[in-house]
Amino acid sequence: MRILGIDYGKRKIGLAMSSEGKLATPLSVLKVSSDNEAVEKIRQILKSKNITRLVLGISEGKMAEETKDFARKLEENLGVKIVFYDETLTTKDAQKMSIEAGIKRKKRKDMEDAYSATLILQGYIDSL
């Protein structure tokens, strides 16, 4: 089963992938101007990578509601199963881990959301 992990944001969306269901790896960061654009870009990724499930990081408060709205758009347009997974502190953890790994500042900044998506997806996989 191929799973796509998503760290949702209004302008940047971090993506991670697991091919064999055991290890999540960073994929990319989508820069988007609308949810519709994001849905289309994710559609292309699902098709090209044969993804069968999405794991969407969810926080609290207003951002949680925006994430749920985005999930509804994904479900309506893509027809793929979506699982929510708590993303609390993933950005801070991703920053700390990438610094410890010696990743240069520019790459860290560019890939920060993908690293967060990786932690979200790995947490989900480990919980299975």
- Report pTM: 0.88
Mean pLDDT by 10 residues, the chain (128 residues): 94 93 92 96 96 93 94 94 85 66 66 87 92
Provide the CATH number for the domain around residue 53: 3.30.420.140
CB 4 within 8 A of CB 13: no
Q: How many domains is the chain partitioned into structurally?
A: 1
Nearest residue to 8 via CA among 84, 77, 79: 84
- Give the pLDDT confidence score for residue 2 in this predicted structure: 92
What is the span of the domain harbouring residue 40? 3-127
32 phi-psi bin (left φ>0, alpha ψ -120 to 50, beta other):
beta
H or E stretch including 110? helix 105-127
CA distance 72 to 103: 35
Nearest residue to 24 via CA among 122, 93, 117, 98: 122
Residue 125 has a CB neighbour count (10 Å cut-off) of 18
- Give the pLDDT confidence score for residue 88 in this predicted structure: 76
